Amino acid sequence: MTQAGTPGLAESPGDEDFLRQADPYRRELLAHCYRMLGSPHEAEDLVQETYLRAWRAYDRFEGRSSLRTWLHRIATTACLTALESRNRRPMPTGLGGPMSDPSDELTHQAEVPWLQPLPGTAPETADDDPASVVTTKESVRLAFVAALQHLPPRQRAVLILRDVLRWKAAEVAEAVGISTAAVNSTLQRARAQLERVAPRQEDVGEPTGAEQRELLERYVDAFERKDVDALVRLFTDEVVWEMPPYAEWYQGTRDVAWHLANRCPARPGGVRMVPVSANGQHGFAMYLRDPADGRYRAFTVQVLTLTSAGISHVANFMGDSAFELFGLPLTREPAG
């Protein structure tokens, strides 16, 4: 839209006023739609739709709520409409099956609309309150967005509006088209479901400063040397490893180590790790060297969950589409 994307809106002083006031909310609207949909591409489409609807109705905006609230209300309605024709986006751990045996064959399930990572750091918030900043960061973490996918769309919307955006129950009721009493009961059910599937707060605390940098450097070094024992020492005992679009997932250092040693095609000296950020978390795009020509080819984009005890979760987003999502090349030339 505009200055940020949709052509043809800034054609009058009123249009320019709308864009000037509305555009600062673009990133947080993208995060809101991503929480609802689990796909950056679909979220961007819904943000565009939100701005288009808002622009068309701007002359009727009476200011009874803030522009920010009004835009989020339009975005929520657009997301709920879109979700009427879309299935939820799970991670392999969210399919409902038990963890896999690493010696079993991998099952490629391209037909599943898998959850996708959100490239970049946590979105900014228009609120300077430190608590709001922390809430915004936590609310786009991969584990939280994956947990949201377990909720029906309306429960998802109510929980996000109440617990992430901190709206009043009456505001949520107006946004989703239900009574205030229904908002409260829906929120209770959503929180209860999320309690069963979301990580506990103490499980997602990250190391800080030098400890974090050292952990990431050791991880890259171990992977580039294909030193499985060194990797295991960086994991928590109950580390989870998953690889959409493959349905299998592993938990625990023994099974993850077996997979890395016997299934992972990385070879010592044949790996290049490129730092990325996704969902406000650290990650790496992994390239594997092709012996035929020495070039490095795209393999997987990893999103890591760091805790004070080590790396507790590695989400591997396999295939070219993950690299395209991050704007990364599919091949890299040999160093030097």
Is 331 in contact with 296 (CB distance < 8 Å)? yes
Select from 114, 101, 180, 184 the least CA-distant residue to 146. 114
Q: What is the residue-averaged pLDDT of the chain?
A: 90
Backbone conformation region of residue 112, classed left if phi is above 0, alpha if psi is from -120 to 50, else beta: beta
- One-letter identity of residue 198: A
CATH architecture of structural domain 209-332: Roll (3.10)
Q: What is the pLDDT of residues 51-90, one digit of tens each?
A: 999 999 988 887 778 899 999 999 999 999 999 999 999 9
Lowest mean pLDDT among 29-33, 63-67, 70-74, 196-200: 196-200
The CATH fold assigned to 1-86 is: Rna Polymerase Sigma Factor; Chain: A (1.10.1740)
Q: What is the pLDDT of residues 206-246, one digit of tens each?
A: 677 788 899 999 999 999 999 999 999 999 999 999 999 99
Q: Tell the burial category of 333 from Cβ atoms under 10 Å away from its Cβ (0-12, 13-18, 19+).
A: exposed
The percentage of the chain sitting over the pLDDT mark of 90, rounded to a whole number, equals: 78
Domain-by-domain residue ranges, the chain? 1-86, 209-332
Phi, psi (deg, nearest 5) at residue 188: -60, -45
Q: What is the DSSP string of 118-137?
A: -BSSPPP-S---HHHHHHHH
* CA terminus-to-terminus distance, the chain: 41
Report the C-alpha gap between 332 and 166 in whole angstroms. 45
